[in-house]
A and B are shown apart, each in its own frame.
Chain A
Amino acid sequence: MRARAGFRDRLRRRAADWARRRQGLDRLPLTLRRRRLYILPTRAGIGFGVLVLAMLAAGLNYANSLALLLGFLLAGFALVAMHECHRNLLGLALIDASAAPVFAGSVGTLRLTLENGSRLRRHHLWAAIADEAAVALEVPAGARAQATLPLHGTRRGLMRIERLRISSSHPFGLFRVWTWIHAPLLVTVYPRPVGSLPLPVQRGATSGARACGASGADEWLGLRPFREGDSPRQVAWKAYAREAPLLVKEYGASASPLRRLTLEDARQPDLESRLAQLARWILDAEAAGESYGLELAGERIPVDRGAAHRHRCLAALARYGS
């Protein structure tokens, strides 16, 4: 059993490699043409074929015209079904594929935008990343539709999505048409934000203008949408209870201390744990509305705060060592 599964995996990989060599790299937006559509009978389709063969054998043997006619009719049915299945993907366009950065160990989303310029509804498509589990969608005639694929951030770093797969076995499930799209997509996988060390106390003085006018109290800045990594303490639960979207209270940190986070401060046994601790600190600092900077070997990110800064820091952690 395992040998068979191994064989199938190998076969699948070789087929994928072959398609990759054959098709070359793709650029989005991309219209699915004949050259990149592959079609094979499904298991149900093979069963159907055996059934039709049995019908033809019975019809021929018993010289029964009606049985032969039925067999031929169903054979034709399968052939037409093949064309219809193939047509369900033909001419469909993949407009865009984009993914927000994701933390290692969590599930992000990859968003595919498909456009159907034809007057046929594209029924029951399946979209997937490489050989992972597929997500169903359909695209009405002359419209666009989005598929949201789960994206598993496995390892810190830059995750390269080599291959997307769009398939369909509509209308009768006898055939499955699929296409591979090789439009390399880089997704930043932040380190997993874990670590229990407290935010390091700043060595040296708080710096620059930000230190002035310390009032001791945070300044209320407003509400902003919830983002991954925000602390639950910061969420505007009252607003949420009034059926508003999940919002986060932002406080100005005019008087908060400046933090310069370094790899050495994160006292953890190995590099990955250190990076994880740093990520945790960044999130915490951001959530607390504090300003922070990051110093890594060869990279120095000045003190700042905000979403773009947070991404810059986390991305630096993700890239670190590669």
Chain B
Amino acid sequence: MRLASALRETPARPLLWVCAVCAAAILLHAGAMPPWITLTALALVAWRLAAALGAARLPGGAVRVLLGLALVAGVLEQFRTLDGLVPGTAMLILMAAIKLLETRSRRDQYVVIGGALFLLLAACLRGQALAWVPLYAADALLCCAALAVVADGSGTDAVTVLPTRDALALAGRTLLYALPLAVLLFLFFPRLPGHFWALTSGSDAVTGLGDTMTPGGITHLTASYDIAFRVRFDGRPPPPQERYWRGPVLHEFDGETWRAGRYAPAGGQQLDCLSRPYRYRVDLEPTRRHWWLALDTVMGSPSPSVRYTDDYQLIAAQPLSQPVRYGAVSCVRSRSLAPLSLSARVADLQLPSGRNPQTLALALRLRHQAGSDVDFVRAVLAFLRTGGFSYSLNPPPLGPNPLDDFLFHTRTGFCGHYASAFVDMMRAGGVPARVVTGYLGGQWNPYDGTLVVRQSDAHAWAEVWLHGRGWTRVDPTAVVAPERLRRGILDLLPGSVSAPERLVHAWPWLGAALERWEALNGWWNERVVGFDSRSQLDLLRQLGLRSPALRDAGWAFAAALLIWLAGMSWRLGGEPGAARPDRLGRAYARLCRKLARAGLPRAPHQGPLAYAQDIARRRPDLAARVGPLLQDYAERRFGPAAGGDPRPFERAVARLRAGRRETRRRR
């Protein structure tokens, strides 16, 4: 009984659409949600569908409430909070699916479509990558078409339903008309610098640099072909071997894992630039971390919200949830002017007691043989160069004293192993040292002239404090695998890289296509995603305003709105054009035009028969030909046989031209 009434009140077709919209919104988030949420929501949609088709019963109110509470508890269990984008989205997905279960009236259907649009918004907030945009657009189209279907409801005798294709075409056309307005508003709607309230973004899955390094922990990064950031240099770029991109600096070591420890609280130290300064802009992909990457060594903070620390890191107040662009100036060779503080010296000499004894002994031996700190550095590097070490991304596992294992047994490792062994030995020998993680190198994209740095370019190196020179970069990996500096990991180790990289390596055209795509992505991130109040002011400046302000953006916004409204009124606001006559009517119009050319125009008030009489009076010679034709039209149009095949009449009208020519010749 309940089912029957539900079906009567919610005719099946709009309901199918609402189910489709809901499922599409759920699938849009499938990648970011725990599988059980997606599956539960889809199951609820399937339940509603089954009920609509008569194969299942809809749950009662008590069941729905219990189900809702259980799902809220499940989400809480999963995320420990309902605050934040991902838990909020999960809640919204489940609530929309439950709402679908109680969808009976048209109002309920509207509510579900609204929920689907909100889920689309959540998807936009989560990721703005160009690759997603077609999917978002398709979802928006689906939602709008569903609005049309729901609005028209089910058909009655008097009213036919809107066919699926028409609904999609209608929604598509409406969105297409709306697109110019959207672009104008996007460009001119006054943007605010900064936020009203802060975004709490979950600490979900992270790719990129972490704040710890356990030799072996960077392997998974190497496998990723994702872009970390793009750089565009003003002027000449630094040579390949100087392209060290500085990320987190690691101070604390427990024998296995390096940690950032407590960040040095002091502000940035003064640096003496020894090379030419390089100016560049970075487009950093969202990392959900605090670090901003810059060419080693950056000279200052690019933004007031980013702290410039005394180990030359850039640390933002908020974790990076959106792509960001900033300009920076760096010197690839520089000298610290201030002396090393005591606390920094203590932190960067710290070693775990009792771990890696063989390494410690070796370091002490080399330190005794070396005359100065510089000689000690050279001796350790020489040991790494001549000790039979090899570079590999798949090193064998290491025991409880990993550095001993590495230096004296396996002798195989990657940058993390070498940097960590080197810094450990430096500290053992009394030279303050630290591990710096970041990226090395990058690839030129020939289509937009940017240097693309990928996750697979991740690297770790060392810095030691030398008297008179300050912090000095030493890359022990370069000693073992000097080619790592000039070429990417790809060229160096073709056997141990990820599948996409190998594909790109095997088929250069694929690489070219990928580069084009990435250039397009770069444009998207720069021009669309990165469009902010500053870009808006730049745009206004380009449009001729000398010193634009927020208010001018408002004026431009109003002007754009008016222009679009005028265009829209012109396009849609006028009365719809007259109906095109049918075939018979068109043939009659042709006949009238022919007669008008012959000097016998039809007066607007004349019907076909009156016209025939008129012609008979004015041109008796034509009457015999034209009269029957007009008579024929009147019969076909108004007579009992109206609605028949118009073709004989069309042919007769076509023949009339010859007839008229004959009459003319005769005269």
Contacts and interface: CB of A to CB of B under 8 A. Distances in A.
A199 interface: no
A197 interface: no
A79 B158 contact: no
B532 A63 contact: yes
Interface of A is mostly: helix
Contact of A64 (B124, B150, B174, B578): B124
Interface of B: 106-107, 110-111, 114, 117-118, 120-121, 124-125, 128, 133, 136, 140, 144, 147-148, 150-152, 156, 158-160, 162, 170-171, 174-175, 177-182, 185-186, 189, 191-192, 195-197, 199, 321-322, 528-532, 564-565, 568-569, 572-573, 575-582
A275 to B, nearest CB: 36
A48 B564 CA distance: 21
Given A62-B125, A73-B182, A137 B530 contact: no
Given A65-B529, A83-B569, A138 B160 contact: yes
Contacts, number: 177
Nearest to A88: B576
A66 B128 contact: yes
Contacts of B189: 68, 72
Contacts of A171: 148, 151-152, 170, 174
Contacts of B185: 72, 75-76
> What 5 A-B pairs have minimum CB-CB distances, sorted nearest first?
A142-B579, A173-B151, A76-B178, A118-B576, A76-B181
A90 B148 contact: no
Interface stretch (A119-127, A153-161, A245-253, A291-299): A119-127
A73 B143 CA distance: 13
Nearest to B565: A79
Contacts of B174: 77, 80-81, 84, 171-172
Contacts of B565: 79
A76 B140 contact: no
A259 interface: no
A74 interface: yes
Contact of B175 (A66, A73, A135, A170): A73
Interface string A207-221: 000000000000000
A174 interface: yes
Nearest to B170: A171
Contacts of A117: 578-579
B289 to A, nearest CB: 18
B322 A62 contact: yes
A278 B335 CA distance: 118
Given A62-B195, A63-B532, A80-B178, A69 B186 contact: yes
A147 interface: yes
B582 to A, nearest CB: 8
Given A58-B121, A65-B531, A119 B177 contact: no
Given A123-B152, A141-B579, 13 more contacts: A60-B191, A60-B192, A64-B322, A65-B529, A69-B182, A69-B528, A76-B177, A76-B179, A76-B180, A83-B572, A119-B576, A124-B159, A137-B159
Interface string A98-134: 0000000000000000001111100110000000000
A122 to B, nearest CB: 9
Contacts of A63: 191, 195, 322, 532
A145 B159 CA distance: 11
Nearest to B146: A172
A60 B175 CA distance: 22
Contacts of A58: 121, 125
A63 B305 CA distance: 15
Which of A65, A71, A91, A170 is most buried by chain B, counting CB atoms within 10 A of its CB? A65
Q: Interface residue tally of chain A, by bracket? A: 35 or more
Interface of B is mostly: helix
A91 B576 CA distance: 7
Interface of A: 43-44, 47-48, 51, 54-55, 58-77, 79-81, 83-84, 86-87, 90-91, 116-120, 123-124, 135-138, 141-142, 145, 147, 169-174
Nearest to B129: A66
A48 B114 contact: yes
Contact of A119 (B118, B140, B322, B578): B578
B114 A124 contact: no
A87 B579 contact: no
A119 B580 contact: yes
Contacts of B121: 54-55, 58, 67, 70-71
Contacts of B150: 173
Contacts of B191: 60, 63
B136 A70 contact: yes
A142 B581 CA distance: 8
A154 B568 CA distance: 47
A84 B580 CA distance: 20
Given A65-B531, A66-B529, A90-B576, A72 B186 contact: yes
A172 B579 contact: no
Contacts of A142: 579-582
Contacts of A68: 186, 189
7 contacts: A62-B322, A65-B530, A67-B125, A83-B569, A172-B147, A172-B171, A173-B147
B322 A137 contact: no
A172 B530 CA distance: 33
B10 to A, nearest CB: 15
A141 B579 CA distance: 6
B322 A170 contact: no
Contacts of B180: 76
Nearest to A147: B158
A44 B174 CA distance: 18
Nearest to B532: A63
A80 B117 contact: no
B125 A64 contact: yes
Contacts of A91: 575-576
A63 B565 CA distance: 26
B297 to A, nearest CB: 29
